Amino acid sequence: MRILFDQGTPRPLRNFLPEHTVDTPAPRGWAALSNGELLDMAEHEGYEVLITTDQSLRYQQNLDGRRLAVIVVRSGSWPYDPSTIEEIRDAVDTAQPGEFQEVQI
């Protein structure tokens, strides 16, 4: 699965998702995009999941008809404990297009 981490998502989390392709916006030139533009670009480029710490995204963006899912990790601090890592992995594995999921930390 192709996953895009939003700006606030802790980069070390990618080490716990080795079976997935994980990218970040900055190397792609997307660091200055608004949330809606980022979702458009991610979807256009074939990403299936956006992982973010932006808790307001759920209320700013409508995912109806989108081909990607958004997982909101409710903390940007690292490290996460092992049970939280497993919750994030489960959220990724069950993510469906047009869906928001939240993982409480």
Indicate the average pLDDT of the chain: 92
CB–CB of 28/2 below 8 Å? Answer: no
Domain that holds residue 6: 2-103
pLDDT, tens digit, for every residue of 6-38?
988 999 999 999 999 999 999 999 999 999 999
For residue 72, CA distances in Å to 10, 25, 29 come to: 12, 16, 22
Q: pLDDT tens for residues 36-82?
A: 999 999 999 999 999 999 988 888 999 999 999 999 998 767 777 88
| Domain CATH for 24 | 3.40.50
Query: Domain count of the chain?
Result: 1
pLDDT attached to residue 102: 93
